[in-house]
Amino acid sequence: MAHRVGRLACAKDGQPYIVPFYYTYADNRLYAFSMVGKKIDWMRINPLVSVQVDEHSTARGWKSVVVDGRYEELSHRIGHEVQLDHAWSLLSKHADWWEPGALKPTA
């Protein structure tokens, strides 16, 4: 699927939390950008995550994929420079790559 929006699920103390997020896929990894907040706090505590992406093709047709994985934070620490630069280059190919992390939800 060539979509860029998925749903990220994480959990803390048995409580699940799901949010939409922009991502890019390369080298068998998903890359995303996020501001620090609830999901980052929770994934730092429990790095086990699931991602769901769907595609609607007709009124009755759709496809979905769910992937389980592990959150890894790329920082400016020594040893992460190449991977961090790679992630930025992939994400920045899309003009709106940073927006969900900077926007505030509306009620």
Question: pLDDT category, 91, cuts 50, 70, 90?
Answer: low
Query: Is 89 domain-assigned?
Result: yes
Query: Is 107 domain-assigned?
Result: no
Q: Of 49 and 94, which is predicted with more confidence?
A: 49
pTM greater than 0.85: no
> Is residue 50 predicted with pLDDT exceeding 80?
yes
Q: Of 51 and 4, which is predicted with more confidence?
A: 51
E strand or H helix at 48, and its extent? Answer: strand 48-56
Domain span at residue 29 reads 5-102
> Is residue 67 predicted with pLDDT exceeding 90?
yes
Question: 98-101: long-range contacts (C-beta < 8 A, 24 or more apart)?
Answer: 98/33, 99/22, 100/20, 100/21, 100/22, 100/34, 101/33, 101/34, 101/35
- The CATH number assigned to the domain holding 38 equals 2.30.110.10
Q: Of 7 and 74, which is predicted with more confidence?
A: 7
